Structure 1
């Protein structure tokens, strides 16, 4: 392989990016070298950009939702080859702890992600391990392939919640994950899928992707509408996709007795105050959902039934990474999914 120089975007301080340059090595063992074609900005990248991600201290490379072309493989790689179009599950696990040894690698005691180890996908190239590489279907574009990672996050949340035929679900937050949870909940048979936000453009997108009803929480009373939709009982299940105290409480208060709230949002302020009595009086259940575990194959199998391209609102070149991140944080720009095309 000819000598290649990789350019990798990172957040060096709150609100500021720069680029590293590294000489790429030939892949060894089970390593797969990928030329990135499309890379998507994730909500966690934005927490990092603000310097407020609880698990990713600065400086750190960013980007983990991507697709591209395999250009070289190590000697032990068997299932992919140069020329394959792929996406990647960007987690890193030890393979040795109890969770890993029982097949539950999503609970690995040492779990991390590629971008936290210097292999961010806001770059020209990335080297990953073969077991995490998935071929894209011929019908899937690179841009859609970059969205398999967030679709897998949503898949994991919906599967953990066990959304069933006929259930009523409320999703608080209509970013990409919230919208995809709405789409998957509807696909799973939920008859009422309500999405809450204060951005009308995002709420409209949620309707187009499968929501049956939206609530603009800036000028509508969430609890009142939930009571009207459920005859006062509450929703079967809720999903919190924002990461602030107020929406955590909304997720708790929106579900019926014995209901389930699933928390997905990243909390920049992890210490919040909640109405604990609700656990007792309503016997509600609250669980977290992070990442994925055997969810990428499921996401790939259902992706053709979900119009992923609808989520893409902006595209930038790698050199425009600073502008791209600022666009994501601008309420005026109406960004949902912003892609970087190296």
Structure 2
């Protein structure tokens, strides 16, 4: 498909330097499909790259001009000559991890830690545009009952599902989610959906509105750590035992240190947040109390099908998409995130 499309591009490696413009519609290879984007979420990574956080930028091989955005859904607009089983007009979302399919980790199905995993929306152009070229194996078809907005929220939902699946909380246990951002609140939804006993969500003073949202989404308790000590509060809510599982969705270096104090014996700490500084941990209580620390990165391919089934089965993720804006108003979306207003901003090309 030849022609021009609207897109938001990052022009150079410096803070801001993004603009709404027109660029050529990407040409697809025989193994790709062209997706016409209907909804695209602004992730924390996109926000960090907009402000040019060096630590995050150095994790990718960015080339300029670059089109960000890795949480999106849409319809197939064109199908490559070698692609089978996909048709123009089908509703889809996209796994942005371009896993190699050849390393030992891919052979085990754990594509999230593939040895060679470039990423749509960073290493290759992504979803802040009207169209994107995607290799066919990364396409996930959307059930008819799943909206484009929910389809754009499936990527962060997959992050939450994968973390919960790796931590394996049991029925009736108590879980703490640290950090009431989009990922943390999606973890809350997944935990409540699977029958965990109590879910406690913690946040700081700037998260007051998000803690209210957590209550609305089913949190049994919320803790503002600027008003009460979270370790004492969690111990009080669990009869002195501590929480069985703690999810770090905040990405602050203090979280795991705090979690060691509030987790029960034989408990688990699941780390999804990515701190910019090192955490200092005394290993003795971790050994003596048999605490497990579990790292979680992204999702596996199967997670996408789990996410689709959960949404189709009634899991409502749409409250996480708090703002919807036309693509040309992308800068307003970044400003909302600057002010910690809302959770996910959805852009509509």
Residues 272 and 15 of structure 1, relative CA distance in 2, 3 Å threshold: farther
Q: Please say if 1:319 is aligned against 2:319.
A: no
After the TM superposition, list the runs of 4 or more consecutive aligned residues in structure 1 that deviate by more than 3 angstroms.
19-22, 57-61
User: Which stretch of structure 1 is more off in the superposition, 48-57 or 83-92?
Assistant: 48-57
Q: CA deviation at 1:86?
A: 0.9
Structure 1 position 24, deviation (Å): 3.0
Deviations for 1:213-272, whole angstroms, at most 9, x for unmatched residues? 1111110211111111222111110000111112222222221112110111122x2423
Matched, 1:74 2:80: yes
Equivalent in 310, 313, 319 of residue 319 of structure 2 = 310
Matched, 1:289 2:290: no
The equivalences for 1:30-45 within 5 A come to 30-45=31-46
Q: The residue matched to 1:169 in structure 2 has which SS? A: strand
Aligned to 2:247: 239
1:61 counterpart SS class: coil
**1:8, 1:32 → 2: CA distance?**
21
Tell me which residue corresponds to 1:63. 69
C-alpha separation in 1, matches of 2:9 and 2:315: 30
Aligned length: 339
- The separation in 1 between residues aligned to 2:309 and 2:11, in whole angstroms, is 34
In the alignment, which residue of structure 1 is the partner of 2:212? 204
RMSD between aligned residues: 1.9
* Mapped partners of 2:215, 2:54: distance in 1: 30
2:258 corresponding residue in structure 1? 250
Counterpart position of 2:285? 278
In structure 2, distance between residues paired with 1:118 and 1:89: 13
Is the alpha carbon distance of 1:11 and 1:66 closer, same or farther for their aligned partners in structure 2, counting shifts above 3 Å? Answer: farther
Q: Distance in 1 between matches of 2:101 and 2:190?
A: 30
Partner of 2:128 in structure 1? 122
Question: Residues of 1 paired with 2:345 and 2:11: CA distance?
Answer: 17
Compute the displacement of 1:140 (Å).
Answer: 1.8
Q: Which moved more, 1:24-33 or 1:61-70?
A: 24-33
**1:20, distance to aligned residue in structure 2 (A):** 6.5
Per-residue deviation at 1:173?
A: 0.2
Query: Which residue is equivalent to 1:264?
Result: 272
- Partner of 2:160, secondary structure, is helix
Q: Which residue of 1 aligns with 2:221?
A: 213
Q: 1:46 to 1:254 in 2, by over 3 A?
A: farther
Residue 70 of structure 1, CA deviation: 0.7
Q: Structure 1 229/313 Cα, relative in aligned 2: closer, same or farther at 3 Å?
A: same
Superposition deviation, residue 117 in structure 1: 1.9
Cα distance, 1:275 vs structure 2: 3.2
Distance 1:288 1:16 in 2: 33
Summarize deviations over 1:32-69 as a string: whole Å, max 9, x none: 10111110111222222232263434665321111111
Structure 2: give runs of 5+ residues left out of the alignment.
none
